[in-house]
Structure 1
Amino acid sequence: MEEPLLRFRGFRNLFVAGAVSQLGSQISYVALPLLAVTVLGAGAGEVGLLAALGTLTVLVLGLPAGAWVDRVRRRPVMIATDLLRAGALLSVPVAWWGGWLSMGQLYAVAVLVGAGTLVFDVASMALVPGLVGRERLTSANSLLVGMGAGMDIAGRSMAGVLVQVAGAPVAVLADALSYLWSAAWLRRVPEPPTTLERREPIGRQISAGVRFLFHDRVLVAALVQGTMANLAFPLCSVLLPVLLVGELGYPEWVLGAYLAVGGLGALAGSSFAHLIGRRLGTGRATWLVSLATAPASLAIPFLDRGPWLWAAAAAWFVVAFRTGVNNVLLVSLRQRVTPDAMLGRMTATMRLLLMGAVGLGGLLAGALGEIWGVRSALWLGALIMAASWIPILFSPLRRHP
């Protein structure tokens, strides 16, 4: 019987660091747009742009970040990006208390936090195989994705209450402190031995990473499916503060609870992913689970007062369950088929497109909300999500063990 992964000191410390920072991140996920809406009077377009900027930084930094991570030790990079994000977020409550907070500052904070998150996540995903070994990647990712989903639930639920009781600036301060906590715990994570890429010019390394990804049909199918899902999610969620709080008049805690339902779904999906993958195989599991759950998204645009709120929340849970399963199985697959020296570049290339889709979804949500209303964005996101299983059906990924 294998020893539980959390008994390994290095992985345990990485897990704890991630748990605390993820909790804070989910608080800001709710608090920043609420701050924009309730304090600065932001409209749909401004909220959409705020959501998009945190991810569109990937378009500029994504590929160089991957090549850089493959050249350096990963733990110091993760600590530095935690400190960067903490400093950026601390500026928000300081500016609010000083009376000079503006949307421009929130946009700048979103860019800095997005850049830090990009580099941190690339380094973290490249670090995990060295800490646990490739044979235990699915178990490790199940724990990490489950932890992230659990923090989604706790953070988003806590955020709605915290914003209502203490105000959005205090909630953002809590996120900043969580990154400082994460940096402290990461100091205890050992740096596993790995081969660092230093010889070739960075441009050639970037090209090699892109070629590696796009020459593998399994990875391409996972990328296309993930890009569709990531485009759909912000279309279905970015304008929720405007709809739930601004138009329907629900209190802030309802928004936090609704978003937390998605975290609960992702937690359930990640908890069962290892079992489902072992029973069906990675490819068949991702295809069948996606086919069974993705169409539930068509209930989300009906979100309204009364029973429709519960129906939309249930659909959000089902769609997030699928995300939890895929995040465990497909991330593990990507790490298994990629050599150590290529992990940073493969991960960064994936994130360039996956997170770029999130940013584009945020921009589309803002534009559609301004032109045709909030529900037009929800409908587009629901339709894209409902069809996002198709790339797996017509690819070798469907039959991957």
Structure 2
Amino acid sequence: MTAATAQPTTAPAGGLRGNRRFRRFWLAETVTQVGDRVTELALPLIAVTLLAATPGQMSVLNALIWTPYLLGMVVGAWVDRRTHKRRLLVVADLARAAVLLSLPVAYLLDAVTLTQLYLVALLTGAGAVLAGMAHQAFFVALVPPSAYLEATSRLSISRAGSSVAGPAVGGTLVQALTAPVAILLDAVSFLVSALLVGRIRVTEAPPPPSRASTLALVRDGLRMVLRHPVLRACLGCTGTVNFFTMMASALLVLYASRDLDLSPGAIGLALGIGAVGALGGAALAPRVSRVLGLGRTAIVGAVLFPAPTALAALATGPTWAKVALLAGVTVLSGVGVMLMDVNLNALLARITPDHARGRRAGAYSALNYGVRPVGALVGGALGTVLGLRPTLVVAGLGGALAALWLVASPVRRIATMDDAAEVQIPA
């Protein structure tokens, strides 16, 4: 059985035009992305404004969001043995909605604590892991291989668009309703997503018969990502980027709020304006890829994504100047992350055999996202010892080195999806 014939689902032939199932899936993703952007701003603001969190506590909060990804290998192998990936996506949405609803309830009872924030971060992260492992297997049920790059670009446009609207909406809601109440929007977004995904009709065939244990599948996923030269290079690149960008992300809201003395509305405005870069990057990624080639476009993105973070340390002067600089930094980073993500995600989808998508995604995510809590904790420690501005410089310059993984690998020679097919992992 080859990867081409190991279709577990019924992806339609051709492109995305007229593909109603993908459009519904795309809408569900868009709705949850907007809600998530609100929570990404509101959750740390609860810690900073209501609970007077320290840099160390902020780093722990950010680390807990990504800690569940360390179990991604096991979850991914388990998902590979499940037939109904759609059901798993719905369960993950409903669970995260319930967890997030606990915050506004606790706020109304004047009972919000740092421990609760930690639990919310941990449990929503666990829901994201389950959804992430089922996502790609469900994605390939809706999209033919020839449309992977286009479909990935559209999903990334939604993520980027949410980064434009989410922080601005989140900042306004936080100022008008307080941060815990603003999180209601994210909870509702998961309920809407569960409804939309639950209505997608798709045939999901059972996985191929296998006597392998879950542990054996975990080992298989690890061997896949560590031994295959393309997967190994992509993992090294994204893992390095994630480590250094999380150093900065764990401290950015704290830096903007305390060092730059910006209000929640101003922070949301700066991040929202800057996210226009991600929106443009997601839309342009397929076109740039046709000019430069898939691999070279990803290399450019791997440098452009983290490097501008170092410039954030230069913010000074009047409020408008600080907001403008933060916005400019996130514009450049947004373009970079989409040039990298859209191309690498499409590449990973193309070279992974269908029966192994869960365990490949699990092993990859466990290592890729597993470094994020470490980066957040290191960022908190450096922020305490060196200060916030020097830590941002270290994060920006260190992250730019991630491109070397791709430069020294076969990825830089991959120009098209047809080239990617030639390095496909054997089924």
Matching residue of 1:389? 403
Residue segments in structure 1 that go unaligned for 5+ positions in a row: none
- What are the superposed Cα offsets for residues 192-246 of structure 1, whole Å, 9 maximum, x if unpaired? 4345155211011111111112221111111111111111222223212222222
- For 1:201 and 1:274, locate their aligned partners in 2 and report how far apart those are by CA, in whole Å: 39
8 Å CA contact 2:22–2:143 kept in 1: the answer is yes
Aligned to 2:365: 351
Report if the CA contact (8 A) 1:36-1:103 is conserved. Answer: yes
Give yes or no for the alignment of 1:298 onto 2:310.
yes
In 2, Cα distance between equivalents of 1:308 and 1:158: 20
1:256 pairs with one of 255, 268, 277: 268
When normalised by structure 2's length, the TM-score is 0.89
Q: In 1, distance between residues paired with 2:188 and 2:382? A: 35
- Structure 1 position 63 matched with structure 2 position 73: yes
Deviation at 1:191, TM superposition (A): 3.0
Instruction: Give the distance between the partners of 1:260 and 1:91, measured in 2 at CA.
Output: 27
The structure-2 alpha-carbon separation of the partners of 1:6 and 1:167, relative to structure 1 and needing over 3 Å to count, comes to farther
Partner of 1:110: 121
1:282 to 264, 271, 294: 294
**Alignment counterpart, residue 163 of structure 2, candidates 129, 138, 152:** 152
Partner residue in 2 for 1:25: 36
Equivalent residues of 1:21, 1:175 under 8 A apart: yes
Secondary structure in structure 2 of the residue aligned to 1:5: coil
Structure-2 residue corresponding to 1:98: 109
Query: Cα distance, 1:267 vs. partner?
Result: 1.4
Q: Identify the structure with the greater helix proportion.
A: 1
Gap change, CA 1:6 and 1:114, over 3 Å in 2: farther
Pair 1:211 & 2:223 matched: yes
Aligned partners of 1:379 and 1:11: how far apart in 2? Answer: 41
In 2, the alpha carbon distance for the partners of 1:91 and 1:380 equals 37
Q: Is the 8 A contact 2:274 2:331 kept in 1?
A: yes
The equivalent residue for 1:314 is 328
Alpha-carbon spacing, 1:31–1:288, altered in 2? closer, same or farther (3 Å): closer
* Displacement after TM superposition at 1:353 (Å): 1.7
Alpha-carbon distance in 2 for matches of 1:335, 1:128: 9
Identity of aligned residues (%): 32
Q: Using the alignment, how far apart are the partners of 1:262 and 1:114 within structure 2?
A: 25
Shift in Å at residue 74 of structure 1? 0.6
Preserved contact between residue 14 and residue 147 of structure 2 (Cα < 8 Å): no
Q: Does 2:142 correspond to 1:131? A: yes
Q: Is the 8 A contact 1:6 1:12 kept in 2?
A: no
Question: Which digits, 9 at most, give the CA deviation of each residue in 1:117-142, with x for residues without a partner?
Answer: 11112211221112111111001000
Q: What do residues 348-368 of structure 1 show as CA deviations (whole Å, max 9, x unaligned)?
A: 111112211222221122222
- Structure 2: distance between partners of 1:7 and 1:119: 29
Shift of residue 247, structure 1, vs aligned partner: 2.9
Contact preservation (8 Å) 1:75, 1:186: yes
Is the CA contact 1:286–1:325 (under 8 Å) kept in the aligned structure 2?
yes
Aligned partner of 1:145: which letter?
S
TM-score normalized with structure 1 length: 0.94
The one-letter code matched in structure 1 to 2:268 is G
Q: Over aligned residues, Cα RMSD in angstroms?
A: 1.8
Q: Aligned partner of 2:260: which letter? A: L
**What letter matches 1:227 in structure 2?**
G
Indicate the larger mover: 139-148 or 121-130: 121-130
Count of aligned positions: 399
Distance in 2, matches of 1:293 and 1:116, equals 26
Amino acid corresponding to residue 165 of structure 1 in structure 2: A
In the alignment, the residues of structure 2 paired with residue 18 and residue 262 of structure 1 have an alpha-carbon distance, to the nearest angstrom, of 21
Contact persistence 2:301–2:337 (CA under 8 A): no
Task: After superposing the two structures, state which structure 1 stretch, 193-202 or 24-33, moved more.
Answer: 193-202
CA offsets, 1:40-87, max 9 Å, x none? 11121111111110101111x210111111111110000001011011
CA distance in 2, matches of 1:289, 1:234: 17
Give the structure 1 partner of residue 27 of structure 2.
16
2:175 is aligned to 164
Q: Does 1:226 align with 2:238?
A: yes
Give deviations 1:124-169, integer Å, cap 9, x for gaps: 1221112111111001000001111101111111111110111101
Structure 1 runs of 4+ with >6 Å offset: none
Aligned position for 2:376: 362
The structure-2 alpha-carbon separation of the partners of 1:293 and 1:121, relative to structure 1 and needing over 3 Å to count, comes to: closer
8 Å CA contact 1:206, 1:345 repeated in 2: yes
* 8 Å contact kept, 2:237–2:402: yes
CA distance, structure 2, for counterparts of residue 335 and residue 18 of structure 1:
18
Q: Which residue of 2 aligns with 1:266?
A: 278
Change in 2 beyond 3 A, CA 1:319/1:137: same
- Corresponding residue for 1:182? 193
Q: CA separation in 1, counterparts of 2:276 and 2:268?
A: 12
SS of 1:239's partner is: helix
1:331 aligns with 345
Q: Quick one: which amino acid aligns to residue 398 of structure 1? A: R
